[in-house]
Amino acid sequence: MHLNKYFFVLIFISVLFLKSAVSQVQPQHDLNYYRNEAYAHSPVLKENLNQQQYIQLQNELTLVAIRKPQVYFTADYLFAPYFFNNSSFIAITQTPDSHAFGYDGALSNGGLYAAQLNVSTLLFTGRVIKPYSYQTAAQKGVLQNLNKQAAHELEKNVTDQYIATYQLQQQVFYLEKIIALVQDRKKIVEALVQKALMQQNDYLLLEIEIRQREFDIQQERINLYNAFNQLNNFAGIADTAIIILSAPIIVQSPVLQEFNYQQRYKSDSANITTQKLVFNTKYRPSLAAYGNTGFNSASAAHLPHSFGLSAGLHLNIPIYDGGQKKIVEKQTQLQLDNLKQYRAFTTIQLKNNLASLQKQIELTAQAITLLNAQLSAQETLLQIIKDKVVTGQISVTDYKNALQDYAISNQNKLQAQTNLWLLINQFNYINW
């Protein structure tokens, strides 16, 4: 009883191990796997996110100089001697005689000894700060839109490459199927040739067909390996293994009422407008308060009595700058006009492209329906004639031709299905 129990447990563990081993030998990935890997590894997306943080920090750096007081320490020592003063070759004094040589005492005071703590700050900065905040929000909006565009572009490229890789994989699978079919017939024909019931050339025709298909499949495997390499490069995956890809699931999106390019032009317009607002802050009157405390003396002897403080206000009212403000306003308007022209042109292109893609999608879907009907008939025909080959009712050449026609139709269907996926992916890329 216990032995049976252990026996079944061992079998269960063995089944799990074999299942795991098989899954490790032939792992399967779908389209979402490669999309997610591309999002996670894309340096462009990471750079855009870092750039948004950089813009925020740059704004903080600008506002610190406006909102926060600036505190700094200064120290000065000025040596301004007089020569040939009262029979002295060199002297430091504030009252030189009329025959001494040196800087005018009213200008140099005979020297300077200073050590001061200084503070300065702008007052009433609210109306100046707001344009900078608007500019930062606009710049971040532009970067966020660029990030969305980069992610959308990445998704489109990964999907296109996945479809191309999947097509090659299916082509390899199909060629393997064809080789298996011909191999099956070849064994029967070989036995009949040995019994002199069929001619040697019939066997050789099948042998040549197999060799040709083996060459074709070898070429497709080379192409498949290269396609996987490109797919992994898009997704940032460090892997050289050939794995099984699931069929891509690509659903056509309904036509949108508002497209991303419209949002892009809004954010670009806002960015241009806020740049003008920031420039115009230089025309606002500014009031700054400043003060200092410490030692400030023209004589080292009086330094202990020269400790004090001072404070003041500085008002700046711009009056005339040569018309710079009007020039910047004209530049801004030209940039906004350019954006309007591009937006109108993009609207026409988008509508034309969506209409064209929709028609191509419909026609391709109809072609696939026709190919499915044709393949169904050809599969029935092959099923009928493959057994007649060994009875001599149908020649090996006829069977080979029927197999060739079936192969061409199957390849046409695979190409049509690939084109349909690519068209839908392109439609979804534009319809965004």
The yes-or-no verdict on residue 431 having pLDDT over 80 is: yes
- The gap from C-alpha 246 to its chain's centroid, in whole angstroms, comes to 25
- At residue 310, the 3 state secondary structure works out as strand
**Angstrom distance (rounded) from CA 163 to CA 425:** 10
The yes-or-no verdict on residue 102 having pLDDT over 80 is: yes
**Angstrom distance (rounded) from CA 176 to CA 64:** 70
The yes-or-no verdict on residue 158 having pLDDT over 80 is: yes
Output the pLDDT for position 288: 92
The yes-or-no verdict on residue 362 having pLDDT over 60 is: yes
Of 154-163, 274-283, 285-294, which has the strongest mean pLDDT? 154-163
Output the pLDDT for position 161: 97
What mean pLDDT is reported for the chain? 87
Q: What is the pLDDT of residues 27-52, one digit of tens each?
A: 789 999 999 999 999 999 999 899 99
Q: What is the pLDDT of residues 298-324, one digit of tens each?
A: 877 778 888 999 999 999 999 998 899
H helix runs in 195-258, sequence order: 200-235
CA proximity to 428, closest of 246, 245, 260: 260
The secondary structure element, H or E, covering residue 78 is strand 70-79
Output the pLDDT for position 17: 41
Q: What is the mean pLDDT of residues 255-265?
A: 90
Output the pLDDT for position 352: 96
Find all residues with CB under 8 Å of 324, minimum gap 6, and list them.
Answer: none
The yes-or-no verdict on residue 406 having pLDDT over 50 is: yes
**Angstrom distance (rounded) from CA 227 to CA 28:** 16
Check: CB of residue 409 under 8 Å from CB of residue 371. yes
Task: Name residue, tokens 């892009």.
Answer: 264
How is 100-136 classified by DSSP, letter by letter? -BSS-HHHHTTEEEEEEEEEEEEES-HHHHHHHHHHH
The yes-or-no verdict on residue 1 having pLDDT over 80 is: no
Residue scoring higher pLDDT (216 or 2): 216
The yes-or-no verdict on residue 280 having pLDDT over 60 is: yes
Per-residue DSSP letter, 246: P
% residues pLDDT > 90 (the chain): 55
Lowest mean pLDDT among 107-111, 164-168, 204-208: 107-111
Query: In this structure, are strands 244-245 and 28-29 parallel, antiparallel, or unpaired?
Result: parallel
Through-space distance between the first and last CA atoms of the chain, rounded to whole angstroms: 66
Q: What is the mean pLDDT of residues 4-27?
A: 42
Q: What is the mean pLDDT of residues 91-97?
A: 81
**Angstrom distance (rounded) from CA 259 to CA 152:** 13
Half-sphere exposure of 431 (CA within 13 A, CB side): 18
% residues pLDDT > 70 (the chain): 93
CA proximity to 249, closest of 28, 414, 430, 425: 425
- The gap from C-alpha 277 to its chain's centroid, in whole angstroms, comes to 31
Q: Binning pLDDT at 50, 70 and 90, where does residue 229 land?
A: very high
Check: CB of residue 281 under 8 Å from CB of residue 130. no
Output the pLDDT for position 189: 75
Q: What is the mean pLDDT of residues 396-402?
A: 83
Output the pLDDT for position 196: 72
Output the pLDDT for position 305: 85
> Residue 429 carries which side chain, given as an amino acid letter?
Y
Output the pLDDT for position 99: 84
Residue scoring higher pLDDT (160 or 181): 160
Q: What is the mean pLDDT of residues 317-338?
A: 93
Q: What is the pLDDT of residues 201-211, one digit of tens each?
A: 878 888 888 89
The yes-or-no verdict on residue 10 having pLDDT over 60 is: no
Query: In this structure, are strands 82-85 and 286-297 parallel, antiparallel, or unpaired?
Result: unpaired
Q: Binning pLDDT at 50, 70 and 90, where does residue 397 land?
A: confident
Tokens of 98: 């009329």
How is 279-301 classified by DSSP, letter by letter? HHGGGS-EEEEEEEEEEEES-ST
Q: What is the mean pLDDT of residues 212-219?
A: 90
CA of 21: how far to CAs of 243, 244, 245, 265, 341, in Å?
14, 15, 18, 53, 60
CA proximity to 353, closest of 259, 270, 275: 259
CA proximity to 343, closest of 417, 256, 268: 268
